[in-house]
Amino acid sequence: MQHITILGSTGSIGVSTLDVVGRHPDRYRVYALTAHQRVEELAIQCARFRPQVAVVGSARAAEDLSRLLAEKGVTTEVAYGEAALCEVASAAGCDAVMAAIVGAAGLAPTLAAAKAGKKVLLANKEALVMSGRLFMDAVSANGATLLPIDSEHNAIFQCLPSSYARTPSGHGVAKILLTASGGPFLKRAVETLENVTPEEAVAHPNWVMGRKISVDSATMMNKGLEVIEAHWLFGAAASEIEVVIHPQSVIHSMVSYVDGSVLAQLGNPDMRTPIAHALAYPDRIVSGVGPVDLAKIGQLAFLRPDFQRFPCLKLAYDALLAGGSAPAILNAANEVAVQAFLDRKIGFRAIDRLIARVMDDVPHSEIGDIDSLLEQDRRAREVAGSLIS
What is the structure's pLDDT at 208?
A: 66
pLDDT tens figures, 278-315:
999 999 999 999 999 999 999 999 999 999 999 999 99
Residue 205 has pLDDT above 80, yes or no: no
Residue ranges of the domains in the chain?
2-148, 153-308, 323-389
| Mean pLDDT computed over every residue of the chain | 94
Identify residue 265 by its one-letter amino acid code: Q
Read off the pLDDT of residues 156-170 as tens digits, 9 standing for 90 and up.
999 999 889 888 989
pLDDT exceeding 90 applies to what percent of the chain? 82
> Which of these, 13, 31, 25, lies nearest to 90 by C-alpha position?
31
| pLDDT of the residue at 54 | 98
Confidence (pLDDT) at 278: 97
pLDDT at residue 102, as a whole number: 81
pLDDT tens for 210-260 read 788 889 999 999 999 999 999 999 999 999 999 999 999 899 999 999 999
pLDDT digit string (tens) for 309-353?
999 999 999 999 999 999 999 999 999 999 999 999 999 999 999
Spatial distance between the Cα atoms of 388 and 350, rounded to a whole number of angstroms: 10
pLDDT value at 138 more than 80: yes
CA distance 352 to 315: 8
Q: Give the pLDDT confidence score for residue 207 in this predicted structure.
A: 64
Given the candidates 2.30.30.100, 3.40.50.720, 3.20.20.80, 3.40.50.2000, the CATH classification of the domain at 2-148 is 3.40.50.720
Averaged pLDDT, 68-89? 96
CATH number of 323-389: 1.10.1740.10
Over residues 50-67, mean pLDDT? 97
